[in-house]
């Protein structure tokens, strides 16, 4: 409602209603995160929110940034680069969450603050070698294929320790944690089990001497379960930005 006064034409009134709608969605997602934290006995504010803006136009990112969000997730390099160019005056933090092809690592190393979907040694080495010296170390999450699904990206759980060791030894990347996309299911018990497995792997790395702080898991339909099981970052697209354009 707060925006009404500053718009006077029909077109701008539309923009205004879209902004109200956007603010409602953001508040609702934030409330769900807070409630899930409380239910899990964790401090609200323990979980950060990554807005997954893939396939949505740059204006939506601008709107969400006005509402205080700074971290955005994209899964297609070309699309992300175009939005970054359009939004270059804003201070945003870009996370890559899509499949990483080795011929795309240079552009990722040059233009992103985070790559959450690393699942191979070769990609780790290239990202470190190609990270420009004038930028801070690139934040990395290792993507784990926690339910061993053949069609899905991510390293198998047993391959994670070796990847973590390599990541820890490279100069221009900083290992931050794990990212997972569990099997799609509406069975809450299965959801809990998958997230629990990721959390165990995360705890194992930490007790093995890695100082990692990011457990990236939970999307629109399962953020409550993910937070209950220890997620520190939820990646929300649909419930935050609406249905993705085709
Ligand atoms: C699209 C996507 C999301 C967001 O999914 P929603 O169900 O729209 O919230 C999260 N993580 C990854 C890796 C994605 O590709």
8 dihedral zone (left: phi>0; alpha: psi -120 to 50; beta): alpha
> Distance (Å, rounded) from C-alpha 36 to C-alpha 42?
8
pLDDT of residue 111: 98
pLDDT of residue 1: 47
pTM: predicted TM-score of the whole model, two decimal places: 0.94
For residue 237, report the distance from its CA to the centre of ligand 1, in Å.
5
pLDDT of residue 246: 84
Atom of ligand 1 nearest to the CA of 240: 9
Q: What angle is formed at CA 119 by the lines to CA 113 and CA 121, rounded to 5 degrees?
A: 95
Atom of ligand 1 nearest to the CA of 117: 13
Low-confidence ranges of the chain (pLDDT < 70): 1-14
């Amino acid at each position: 409602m707060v925006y009404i006064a500053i718009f006077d034409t029909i077109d701008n009134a539309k923009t205004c209603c879209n902004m109200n709608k956007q603010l409602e969605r953001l508040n609702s997602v934030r409330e769900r995160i807070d409630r899930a934290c409380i239910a899990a006995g964790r401090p609200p504010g323990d979980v950060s929110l990554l807005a997954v803006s893939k396939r949505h136009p740059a204006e939506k990112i601008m709107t969400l940034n006005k509402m205080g969000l700074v971290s955005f997730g994209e899964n297609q390099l070309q699309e992300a680069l175009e939005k970054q160019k359009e939004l270059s005056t804003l201070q945003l933090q870009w996370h890559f969450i899509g499949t990483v092809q080795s011929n795309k690592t240079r552009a990722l190393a040059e233009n992103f603050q985070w790559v959450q979907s690393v699942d191979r040694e070769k990609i780790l080495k290239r990202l470190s070698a190609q990270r420009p010296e004038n930028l801070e170390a690139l934040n990395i999450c290792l993507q784990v294929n926690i339910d061993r699904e053949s069609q899905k990206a991510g390293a198998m759980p047993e391959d994670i320790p070796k990847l973590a060791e390599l990541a820890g030894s490279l100069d221009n990347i900083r290992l931050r944690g794990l990212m997972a996309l569990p099997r799609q299911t509406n069975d809450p018990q299965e959801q809990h089990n998958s997230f629990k497995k990721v959390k165990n792997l995360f705890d194992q790395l930490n007790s093995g001497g890695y100082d990692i702080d990011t457990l990236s898991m939970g999307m629109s339909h399962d953020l409550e379960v993910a937070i209950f099981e220890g997620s520190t970052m939820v990646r929300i697209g649909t419930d935050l930005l609406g249905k993705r354009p085709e």
